[in-house]
Amino acid sequence: MFNYTIRRLLLAVPTLLLISFLIFLLLDLAPSDPTANLPLTIPPEVREKIRISLGLGEAFHIRFLLWCKQFFYNETLNILEQWWGWDFGGDRLRVLSWQTRSPVVDTIVQRIPQTLWVVGMSYIVGILIAVPIGILSAYKQYSWFDQIGTFVSMVGYSVPTFFTGVLVIVIFSVWLGWFPSIYDTTLVVNDWSSFLQQVKQMIMPVSVLALYNAAQISRFMRASMLDNLNQDYVRTARAKGIRERSVILVHVLRNSLIPVVTVIALGVPQVFGGAIITEQVFKVNGLGQLLIIAIQAGDVPTVQTLTFIFAVLIVFFNLIADVLYGILDPRIRYD
Amino acid sequence: MKALLLGAAAIVAMASPTLAERGSDGELKIIYWQAPSTMNPYLSGGTKELEAASLVLEPLARYDEGGNMVAWLAESIPTVGNGGVSADLKTITWKLKDGLLWSDGSKVTADDAVFTWKYCSHPEGGCAQSEKYNDVTNVEALDELTVKVTFGVSKPFPYGPFVGAQAPLLQAAQFADCLGTKAPECTDANFGPIGTGAYKVTEFRPNDVISLAANTHYRDAAKPAFATVTFKGGGDAAAAGRSVLETGEFDYAWNMQLAPEVLAGMQAGGKGEIVSAFGTLVERVMINMTNPDPALGDERATAKHPHPFLSDINVRKALSMAIDRDLLVEIGYGDAGKPSCNVLPAPEIYKSTANDGCLVQDVEGAKKLLTDAGWVPGADGIRQKDGVRLSLLFQSSTNAVRQDFQALIKQWWGDIGIETELRNIDSSVFFGGDPGSPDTFQKFFADVEMYANNFDGTDPESYMANWECKQAPRPETQWQGNNMPRYCSEDYDALVAEMAKTGDLMERARLAKAMNDKLMQEYIILPLVDRGRVSARSNALGGVVMNAWDSELWNAADWYRVK
């Protein structure tokens, strides 16, 4: 298992390099211009100068190598300096966003808390709702509970968050006035009242996203439980006189979790990717909003850095899912 | 009901700001649905950044709501009359107000102005506002408070440098190491510039939220009324409008680009109102005077090949006559627009009244005009002459209102026997100016195209020069230039040249009007709608004076809480 993990990690290096190159290539081929959104009163000569000052005058391969150096070398040294207080000296240019002209990595670090709080929380809430619903729905297949569960997850899965988001804002912010419609990212939680405020502003985005996540995961959970409930080993366990509770929660649940864990693990990178639409609707301004704004503004360094980090997370969580497989199911061995 | 509303409005108007002390009104909450990326307007030409920065950075002079220049950090506006502008129109001398302080407590001096010019005119800096410092050969400090700007040519309108939200003063001490290629590396300075404005930045989160606090060194000891400002960004126009007009969470929301009926519904909530002001932004249809036929290869859409039918003035005139501008305003903009027959709709002294006939739609007249000119309907109902069919390709950027306009105009042109094919292009490509793309508004590989444009400040000289012959985009200029119709007239060019050397304001107004009338009466540009700036203000926020000529937040120092 250990050797396998090391081998996979080593293989990830060329994979990620190739991914970063492909992302860069795609962004370069896309018809976007960082000066396109400027007012028309700014003349073309000035726009050209702006483009050159952003480094767009250089050839494709030079820009790519420069990004690689800035991201892999300069930013790494920078992190080491910040964490350990070392000083490598020298003047290193970091990856600078074309919109803000500030280091992209700093902005990402600034955005992570609100994304993790809102999107991460909704993922956890979603899982906590989905697993019991999935188990019960499967156990009492075609009962009222199952029918209602199926209906709710179909609604959660098929109604887009830009609809449910605006709907809850209109109901709970405009009509009832219970929750704020705009998320305050500067709120510091240091006492009960600010904690309450944080909870209030998180309720709507978290529930909207949790509904969506729960819908997906509960369907997987239900299907996987159903597969196992009809297996011979379940009948054997019951025949041996094991309590129903243990049959379901120990034997069936553990085996059914294998595919569900994969789905959950593979979904984690999406948490970091933020929920582009939900973040926009509630003005959470996390990583998803950062990405979409950067795309609209033709801000290549930000898009490149963010998508690359997502790629790293996806590769990494794929590996975690595979390793978890082995832990949950001793029959699975890769060596 | 109306009387009641008027009465309420009168009470609000009477509730003048009690002469409170600085910071007594708590927190001001502003929402811009496009979040500012930086606080340095010289590194970003975007409107959202200019306006956010205008809370902190100030110019020597700016424009008030009527488009009049008012001295801001300067004592007075230099003119030829008061000796501030030299007789040859090549120098202008500004005198700073005495006793001005930066928000860190240091003195504002003429050296800061000299530095600001150096900062923006550095060849490697990529300064987004370098147009404002065009033709400046030198800026020098005559004494601690006197700045002399020298131009290489005579400038009848010398109020580019240091005037308006686009060209504020930077503090030399803070930006000293940020010249040229170093400019983007000064993140702290770009995010938290030290200014002279009523507020100073306490925290800047790019593309998210800006926290500001009252500037303790502000020149008026009683202002600003608010202790802190939260400047939130992100979301969309509808959400921003909702937060001011329906939930009352915010005090001011910028740029309410919403359908008129949506805005009316939000205003019914009674928590706030829409404020608007009209500047020079005109939504217009540009006519291509050259032939965009792909068969022409490299010479496509260049002056070598006149347009097969749009070079006939009767066709162009008929296109204009068929349009119902009132209906366009009603559908697309509501209170935020008014029909326009001029490409130069303001300020008042430049506004021509010679073309107002376009306000009335005249379908029958258009048909008759075309028939008289020999364009008669063929078997399919489309007019033609000598084998040339009146069939147009009409392009614009992707935007809900523009696509509504395109559909309406297509129908009206259909009514007079002109066939129209519609096309819309993503705005970042359309306005992107990439010479490699065939879809830019400069290349204009279509017969007509629609977009909006305006000019900074109140002087139309460079705007009207857009339609000089030499401004036509063509392969030799890498398809850059502002003369999208490729209009070329010696008379027009002569008017442009004359304006460039005329100093007298009334004479300049006459010339600008003449140029506008020439473009209108030859139907080179079909103006549609004069578009205003529209924002929303909460009933609890007083002192807002909407301004279309400068930053909307130009007088934020005077804003106060209505109690």
Calculate how close chain B gets to A291, using CA atoms only, in Å: 11
Q: A50 in a domain, yes or no?
A: no
Nearest chain A Cα to B204, which residue? Answer: A186
- Nearest CB among A107, A173, A298 relative to B428 is that of A298
pLDDT confidence of residue B20: 63
Please tell me the total count of domains within chain A.
1
* Containing structural domain, residue A136: 113-328
pLDDT confidence of residue B9: 44
CB contact under 8 A, B38 and A53: no
Q: A24 in a domain, yes or no?
A: no
CB contact under 8 A, A102 and B455: no
For residue A300, the domain's CATH number is 1.10.3720.10
CATH of B278-455+524-532, one of 3.20.20.220, 3.40.50.720, 3.40.50.880, 3.10.105.10: 3.10.105.10
Q: A304 in a domain, yes or no?
A: yes
pLDDT in tens, A152-189: 888 888 888 889 999 999 999 988 989 998 898 888 88
Q: Is the pLDDT of residue A91 over 70?
A: no
pLDDT confidence of residue A89: 66
The three state secondary structure string of chain A is CHHHHHHHHHHHHHHHHHHHHHHHHHHHHCCCCCCCCCCCCCCHHHHHHHHHHCCCCCCHHHHHHHHHHHHHHHHHHHHHHHHHCCCCCCCCCCCECCCCCCEHHHHHHHHHHHHHHHHHHHHHHHHHHHHHHHHHHHHCCCCHHHHHHHHHHHHHHHCCHHHHHHHHHHHHHHHCCCCCCCCCCCCCCCCHHHHHHHHHHHHHHHHHHHHHHHHHHHHHHHHHHHHHHCCHHHHHHHHCCCCHHHHHHHHHHHHHHHHHHHHHHHHHHHHHCCCHHHHHHHCCCCHHHHHHHHHHCCCHHHHHHHHHHHHHHHHHHHHHHHHHHHHHCCCCCCC
CB contact under 8 A, B35 and A54: no
Q: A199 in a domain, yes or no?
A: yes
CB contact under 8 A, B128 and A38: yes
Q: A213 in a domain, yes or no?
A: yes
Q: A273 in a domain, yes or no?
A: yes
Q: A174 in a domain, yes or no?
A: yes
Q: Is B307 or A28 the better-scoring residue by pLDDT?
A: B307
Calculate how close chain B gets to A41, using CA atoms only, in Å: 6
Using an 8 Å CB-CB cutoff, list chain A residues near B433: 33, 35-36, 44, 47
In order along its 563 residues, chain B shows pLDDT tens digits of 444 444 444 444 444 444 568 888 999 999 999 889 999 999 887 888 999 999 999 999 999 998 889 999 999 999 988 999 999 889 999 999 999 999 999 999 999 999 999 999 998 888 888 888 988 999 999 999 999 999 998 888 899 899 999 999 999 999 999 998 888 888 899 999 999 999 999 999 999 999 999 999 999 989 899 999 999 998 888 889 999 999 899 999 998 888 888 888 898 888 999 999 999 999 999 999 999 999 998 889 999 999 999 999 999 999 999 999 999 999 988 888 999 999 999 888 899 999 999 999 999 999 999 999 999 999 899 999 998 999 999 999 988 889 999 999 999 999 999 999 999 998 878 887 777 788 989 999 999 999 998 888 888 998 999 999 988 998 888 888 889 999 999 999 999 999 988 888 889 999 999 999 999 999 999 999 999 999 999 999 999 999 999 999 999 999 999 98
Those of residues 162-221 in A touching chain B at CB distance below 8 A are 169, 173-174, 177, 180-182, 184-186
pLDDT confidence of residue A71: 87
Using an 8 Å CB-CB cutoff, list chain B residues near A55: none
pLDDT confidence of residue A90: 65
- Answering whether pTM is above 0.90, one says no
Q: Per-domain residue ranges for chain B?
A: 278-455+524-532
pLDDT confidence of residue B13: 43
pLDDT in tens, A291-329: 988 988 888 899 999 999 999 999 998 888 888 888 877
Best of B229, B230, B428 to mutate (most A CBs within 10 Å, chain A): B428
Q: A184 in a domain, yes or no?
A: yes
pLDDT confidence of residue B316: 95
- Nearest CB among B206, B428, B456 relative to A107 is that of B206
pLDDT confidence of residue B552: 93
